[in-house]
C-alpha cells in the first residue's frame, strides 16, 4: 500500500497560496503578504494587532498621553485665537480692531462687534436700548472672552507666550490635562474679572489663561525638581506690566494666575495610585467654586 505524499501548507488567510513560513506566535502558516516583521521571525496580522492592544501606551510623569510632545493642542489653540482675531477685524468694517486706539502703545486695540458679543461684561445698556452681560444670562462670555483680543499686538504677545509655555506644559501633562488647565485657568481669570471689574467694563484676551500657564509651569518644574530661575523673571515682568500699564485687567490676570496654580497643584501632586480620579476631582472642585463665585456676583448685580 503506497502512502500519500505530504501536502504543502497553505496560508490561513489565503488558502490558495502555499507557504512554509509560520507565525512565531500562533504557528499558523502565513504567506509573504501576511508576514509582519517581529523581534524574532514573523507574525500574522491578528497576532500583531493583539500585541498592540496588550501594550500600554506611553504616559507622562503626570499620567497624560505622550502625544503631548507633538504640541497639537497648543497649535490648535493658537490657530483658534488667530482665526477669531481675523473674524473680529472683519466684523469691524474699517474700525480700529487691528491696531488702533486704547491702551499702552496700541497694546489694547479698539473693540469690535465680535468682542462686544464675547468679552467679559457684567451688564451694560447698549446703544440699541438692549441690556447685555453675564448677569443677564450671557454666561458664554466667561469662555469666549479667553479667545478674543483687542488688537493684533495684544494677540501676538499672548500667542508668543502660549507657544513658549504651552509646548512645555503639554509635553509634561499630556494633551487632555493641558487643555483642561488652559480652559480652567482662563475661566478663573474671567470669573475674577467679572467679580472685581466695573459691571459695564469689558475684558477679553488669552492673558487670563496665559497667566495660569505661568503659575502651572512653576509648579510642574518644581515638582520635577527643575530650576525655575528662567521662568520667574518673565513672570515678574508680566506682573509689572499688569499693574502699571493702563487698560489691562488686573483681576483677570491675577485670577488666571491663582486658578492655574491651584489646578496645577492638583495635577502635579495627585497620588500615583488614583491619580486620574484625584486630578478629575481637583479640577471639578475648582470649576464648581468658580461658578459659585460667578453666581454670587450675578445675584449682587440683579438683586
Q: What is the CATH number of the domain that holds 258?
A: 1.20.1540.10
Cα dihedral 146→151→153→156 (10° resolution): 40
pLDDT digits (tens, 9 = 90+) for 191-227: 999 999 999 999 999 999 999 999 999 999 998 888 8
- The mean pLDDT value of the chain amounts to 86
Q: Tell me if 57 sits within 8 A of 66, measured CB to CB.
A: yes
- pLDDT value, residue 152: 86
Known active-site residue 39: no
Known active-site residue 207: yes
Q: Tell me if 47 sits within 8 A of 41, measured CB to CB.
A: no
* Number of domains within the chain: 2
Percent of the chain with pLDDT over 90: 49
The C-alpha atoms of residue 226 and residue 183 are separated, in whole angstroms, by: 25
The C-alpha atoms of residue 303 and residue 293 are separated, in whole angstroms, by: 15
- pLDDT value, residue 102: 46
- Residue whose entry in the numeric block shows the C-alpha cell 500500500: 1
Listed in sequence order, the residues at least 6 apart from 17 whose beta carbon sits closer than 8 Å to its beta carbon are 10, 11, 31, 33
Residues 97 and 157 occupy one common structural domain: yes
Q: What value does the mean pLDDT take over residues 55-60?
A: 64
- Start-to-end CA distance of the chain, whole Å, equals 106
CA atoms within 13 A on the CB side of 105: 4
Residues 240 and 148 occupy one common structural domain: yes
Q: How far is CA 286 from CA 65, 147, 183, 206, 256, in A?
A: 23, 21, 12, 19, 12
- Confidence label for 277 from pLDDT (cuts 50, 70 and 90): very high
Within 10 A of 265 (CB to CB), how many other CB atoms are there?
16
Choice among 111, 119, 207, 249 that is catalytic: 207
The C-alpha atoms of residue 148 and residue 81 are separated, in whole angstroms, by: 7
Over 90: is that where the pLDDT of 7 sits? Answer: no
Q: Which residue has the higher pLDDT, 115 or 107?
A: 115
> DSSP 3-state assignment of 194?
helix
Residues 162 and 243 occupy one common structural domain: yes
Percent of the chain with pLDDT over 70: 90
Residues 194 and 142 occupy one common structural domain: yes
Domain range enclosing 3? 1-50
- pLDDT value, residue 98: 53
Residues 32 and 78 occupy one common structural domain: no
Q: Tell me if 74 sits within 8 A of 82, measured CB to CB.
A: no
Helices and strands (H and E) in the chain: how many: 10, 6
Residues 71 and 46 occupy one common structural domain: no
Within 10 A of 95 (CB to CB), how many other CB atoms are there?
16
Residues 94 and 210 occupy one common structural domain: yes
Is residue 20 included in any domain, yes or no?
A: yes
CA atoms within 13 A on the CB side of 197: 30
Instruction: Determine the Cα angle at 159 with ends 158 and 163, to 5°.
Output: 120
Residues 107 and 32 occupy one common structural domain: no
- pLDDT value, residue 106: 38
User: 17: burial class by Cβ within 10 Å (0-12, 13-18, 19+)?
Assistant: middle
- pLDDT value, residue 218: 93
Amino acid at each position: 500500500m503506497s502512502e500519500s505524499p505530504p501536502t504543502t501548507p497553505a496560508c490561513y488567510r489565503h488558502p490558495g497560496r502555499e507557504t512554509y513560513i509560520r507565525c512565531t506566535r500562533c504557528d499558523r502558516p502565513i504567506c509573504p503578504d501576511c508576514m509582519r516583521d517581529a523581534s524574532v521571525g514573523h507574525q500574522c496580522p491578528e497576532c500583531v494587532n493583539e500585541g498592540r492592544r496588550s501594550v500600554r501606551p506611553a504616559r507622562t510623569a503626570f499620567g497624560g498621553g505622550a502625544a503631548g510632545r507633538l504640541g497639537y493642542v497648543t497649535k490648535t489653540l493658537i490657530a483658534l485665537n488667530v482665526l477669531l482675531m481675523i473674524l473680529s477685524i472683519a466684523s469691524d468694517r474699517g474700525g480700529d480692531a487691528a491696531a488702533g486706539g486704547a491702551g499702552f502703545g496700541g497694546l489694547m486695540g479698539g473693540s469690535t462687534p465680535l468682542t462686544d458679543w464675547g468679552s467679559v461684561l457684567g451688564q451694560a445698556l447698549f446703544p440699541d436700548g438692549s441690556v447685555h452681560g453675564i448677569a443677564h444670562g450671557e454666561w458664554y462670555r466667561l469662555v469666549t472672552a479667553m479667545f478674543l483680543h483687542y488688537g493684533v499686538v495684544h494677540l501676538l504677545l499672548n500667542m508668543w507666550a502660549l507657544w513658549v509655555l504651552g509646548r512645555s506644559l503639554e509635553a509634561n501633562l499630556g494633551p487632555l490635562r493641558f487643555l483642561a488647565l488652559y480652559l480652567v485657568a482662563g475661566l478663573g481669570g474671567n470669573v475674577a474679572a467679572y467679580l472685581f471689574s466695573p459691571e459695564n467694563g469689558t475684558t477679553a484676551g488669552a492673558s487670563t489663561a496665559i497667566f495660569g500657564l505661568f503659575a502651572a509651569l512653576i509648579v510642574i518644574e518644581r515638582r520635577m525638581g527643575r530650576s525655575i530661575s528662567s521662568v520667574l523673571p518673565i513672570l515678574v515682568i508680566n506682573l509689572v506690566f499688569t499693574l502699571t500699564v493702563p487698560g489691562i485687567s488686573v483681576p483677570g490676570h491675577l485670577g488666571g494666575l491663582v486658578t492655574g496654580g491651584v489646578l496645577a497643584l492638583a495635577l502635579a501632586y495627585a497620588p500615583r495610585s488614583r491619580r486620574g480620579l484625584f486630578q478629575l476631582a481637583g479640577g471639578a472642585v475648582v470649576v464648581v467654586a468658580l461658578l459659585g463665585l460667578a453666581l454670587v456676583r450675578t445675584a449682587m448685580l440683579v438683586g
